[in-house]
Chains A and B, each alone.
Chain A
Amino acid sequence: MSWIDWLVLIITLLGTLVYGIWKSRGQRNIGDYFLNSGPLPWYIILFSIMATQASAITFLSAPGQAYTDGMRFVQYYFGLPLAMVVLCVTFLPLFHRLKVFTAYEFLETRFDQKTRTLTTILFLLQRGVSTGISVYAPSIILSALLGWNIYWTNIFMGGILIIYTVMGGTKAVAYTQKLQLLIIFAGMFLAGWIVVRLLPPGVSFTDALHVSGKMGKLNVIVTKINITQKSWWQDKYNIWSGTIGGFFLALSYFGTDQSQVGRYLTGRSLKESRIGLLMNGIVKVPMQFLILLIGALLFVFYRFYSAPVFFNDNALAKVYQTSYSGDMHQLSHQYRLLDSVQKKEVYALVNALHRRDPAAEAGAQSALKLTQVRAALVRQQAVGLIKKADSGADTDDTNYIFLHFVRDYLPKGLVGLLIAVIFLATWGSTSATLNSLASATMIDIHMRFFKKNGSPGYNLQASRWWTLFWGMFCIGVAQFAQGLGSLIQAVNILGSLFYGTMLGIFLVAFYGKKIGGTAVFWSAILSELMVIGIYRANLVSFLWLNAAGCLLVIGIAWTFHMGRRLVRYNQ
């Protein structure tokens, strides 16, 4: 990176940090720390919700996901607007009426202490681990750019994050998120614009879309339906798993995950919170579409400019230091040769498109696809070498694709801005999450089991200590995050393992008026074990796990309830 990039990076990050701390000065009690002293209007809630969900992973991993697997990932967001509507009708008025700090407080009123504690623990486990993965994402960047050791980078990044959150609390998070999102959108828009601008002369934006589409990267809507086949249930992203599974995932995430509930509970009124959530339902899908589109365009970009055999330079460098160096040189050479073949074929495809010659188009398309298969085989061998050279190496380079482009092709200054964008996204997302982890631990565990009537000063101090604890937990998780593949997928799989059960507990609380705490407690434990079993047996794609967990809790709790009634009746 040039000194201009460093300057832009440092000014952007320091500016945001100072602004957040200045805005949140004067916190005196736990209410200020977790829920703000000033209620927030809907647009701040919207920014806050969006920035909490959009971590560095979104900007780093999503374009890579589209590059490798096409844009079909966007379907996973189709359930989100529907979930926003259901939330506004059900969860939100209830949380508002009960004036709760955390979503789990409600469960003790409705059921009992053990159900509240179980749900809190499910949340803490799931959110703690996925925040750790989010801490790992920007560490990838620093270690790739500066060649730093990934473990020390995790500690450094996690340390900054802890200071930021402990100093500022929720308000700093909310106010800087507005600024952060503006910088993030500007940065991503510029990156997309530059991808198109750097396309060779004679290749337009529309041409790039056609090429990307013909190579299967613009598969936004996948409608195939064959529920009798096991492979259909295992298909990760189609409109059905996206809308139904995504609906349950979004409903659980926004309705039962304190990192989001804590955001919209800061609304000035029920109306402001509702509008914030509904606007999120309106903007989220187009936003993800545009981020993924960058990846689909990057795919075309790298057909004209040579792509490395593997996007993670550090992993490649390690191979070059071993006895496999010669083999890797040979594979890289083969890959470059195939690259030049692809370049000719993609030009042929663009020319055929210009001439509106369907036969030539089809010919160029199949030739390009064939070369792609050959290139994939070479890449596979290269990945094999990486694994041989270092058995613990991350053999998935999805998260490095966009970063590679930013580093090598963006103009000076903009590289710094884009790196800042990714850091800001991490801070915005993980600091809000750290805050929610601390608030759930403090309110649902600490104040229930350790010290019920602490002074305001004591509670604030203890909340800060819990923030520190969770920060360190996340750093610990980040140290093990290598080798998870596409991080955006990894955090969603993790969420799907727990969210269904959590949602089921809340739905029983809302609608199973006669079902008691013990029934729901044991049904939640059983369902969680079954969801993990289904996942391990690879019976369905992860998005379905949300629906499965939720329905299992409801079904088992209802069966328990009916069974007990029957026993009582017989007595």
Chain B
Amino acid sequence: MHLDQQDPPQSAGYWRTWYLLVIGWLALLIILFDLFTRFFS
């Protein structure tokens, strides 16, 4: 079976929150990795 639309459509705000979460998570990781690099060098 192919992609269908069994689920009710999500609001734009719902997906915006997801996207911000993913981008925020990446930013946090980069900051933490930078601290990690500096601390152990």
Contacts and interface: CB of A to CB of B under 8 A. Distances in A.
Q: Do A and B come from one complex?
A: yes
B40 to A, nearest CB: 3
Nearest to A217: B40
A445 B7 CA distance: 34
Given A209-B40, A218-B41, A39 B25 contact: no
Interface in A225-281: 239, 265, 267-275, 278, 281
Contact of A36 (B1, B7, B37): B1
A81 B18 CA distance: 11
A285 B26 contact: yes
Nearest to B40: A213
Classify chain B: how many residues form its interface, as a range. 20 to 34
A525 interface: no
Given A85-B23, A282-B25, A285-B29, A210 B3 contact: no
Contact of B40 (A38, A212, A274): A212
Interface string B2-41: 1111110010000100110111011001100110110111
B3 to A, nearest CB: 5
Contacts of A289: 29, 33
B30 A88 contact: no
B22 A84 contact: yes
Secondary structure at the B interface, as helix, strand, loop or mixed, is helix
Nearest to B3: A96
A494 interface: no
Nearest to B8: A271
Nearest to B35: A221
A219 B3 contact: no
B23 A82 contact: yes
A128 to B, nearest CB: 26
B38 to A, nearest CB: 8
B40 A281 contact: no
A82 to B, nearest CB: 7
A369 interface: no
B33 to A, nearest CB: 4
B3 A270 contact: yes
A229 B7 CA distance: 52
Interface in A455-499: none
A269 B25 CA distance: 25
B6 A269 contact: yes
Contacts of B22: 81, 84-85, 278, 281-282
Given A82-B26, A88-B19, A269 B36 contact: no
Contacts of B5: 269-270
A35 interface: yes
Contacts of A273: 3
Contact of A39 (B1, B10, B15): B1
A269 B4 contact: yes
Contacts of B1: 31, 35-39
Contacts of A220: 33-34, 36-37
Nearest to A265: B3
A278 B2 contact: no
Nearest to A99: B2
Nearest to A270: B3
B33 A267 contact: no
A278 B3 contact: no
A214 interface: yes
Contacts of A213: 37, 39-41
B23 to A, nearest CB: 6
Contacts of B4: 39, 268-269
A174 interface: no
A411 interface: no
Interface string A21-49: 00000000001000111110000000000
Contacts of B7: 268-272
Q: Which of B5, B23, B40, B41 has the most CB of A within 10 A?
A: B40
A98 to B, nearest CB: 10
Nearest to A279: B22
A364 B30 CA distance: 30
A286 interface: yes
Interface in A193-212: 209-210, 212
A144 interface: no
B18 A278 contact: yes
Contacts of B39: 213
A289 B34 CA distance: 13
A377 B28 CA distance: 40
Contacts of A136: none
Given A219-B37, A220-B37, A99 B3 contact: yes
The 5 closest A-B pairs by CB, nearest first: A213-B40, A220-B33, A269-B7, A81-B26, A221-B34
Given A82-B23, A88-B15, 11 more contacts: A81-B26, A213-B37, A216-B41, A218-B36, A265-B2, A269-B7, A270-B7, A274-B15, A278-B19, A282-B25, A289-B33
27 contacts: A31-B1, A37-B1, A39-B3, A74-B33, A81-B22, A81-B23, A81-B26, A85-B19, A88-B15, A96-B3, A213-B37, A213-B41, A214-B41, A218-B40, A218-B41, A219-B37, A219-B41, A220-B37, A221-B33, A223-B34, A239-B30, A267-B3, A269-B6, A278-B19, A282-B21, A286-B29, A289-B33
